[in-house]
Amino acid sequence: MFELTAGAVVFCVLVAAFFLALWLFYDRRDHRRFELERRKITFHCIRCDALYSAPTGPETRPCPKCGYSNGRLKF
Ligand SMILES: [Zn+2]
């Protein structure tokens, strides 16, 4: 009887650890994805008036429409 109870407890702990690991994995993954999305830099082309964004990186990016290199937009 004791063997069965101990086995059930071990099984429950293993299942709980499995779901905890899954939760942590997906939480961290979604957080990283959200941070990447949030940290996009917005640029405004002073030549053709286009607005575009790019992930974090250099301070200047060429415009996708006309190719003019613009500095980041500051608010
Ligand atoms: Zn442009």
Q: Are residues 1 and 31 in the same domain?
A: yes
- pTM here? 0.49
Please check whether residues 32 and 47 belong to one and the same domain: no
Chain center to CA of 2? 47
Q: How far is the CA of 44 from the centre of ligand 1 (A)?
A: 8
For the stretch 22-51, pLDDT in tens is 999 999 999 998 887 788 888 999 999 999
Same domain, 45 and 67: yes
Does 22 lie in the same domain as 5? yes
Report CA(21)–ligand 1 centroid distance (Å).
Answer: 46
Q: Are residues 26 and 55 in the same domain?
A: no
- Cα three-residue angle 54-55-57, rounded to 5 degrees: 100
Higher pLDDT, 72 or 14: 14
Q: What is the pLDDT of residue 21?
A: 97
Supply 41's token pair.
Answer: 């830099």
In this structure, are 21 and 44 located in the same domain?
A: no
The domain total for the chain is 2
The range of the structural domain enclosing residue 1 comes to 1-38
DSSP assignment of the chain equals -HHHHHHHHHHHHHHHHHHHHHHHHHHHHHHHHHHHHHTPEEEE-TTT--EEEE-S--SEEE-TTT--EEEBP--
45 with 73, same domain? Answer: yes
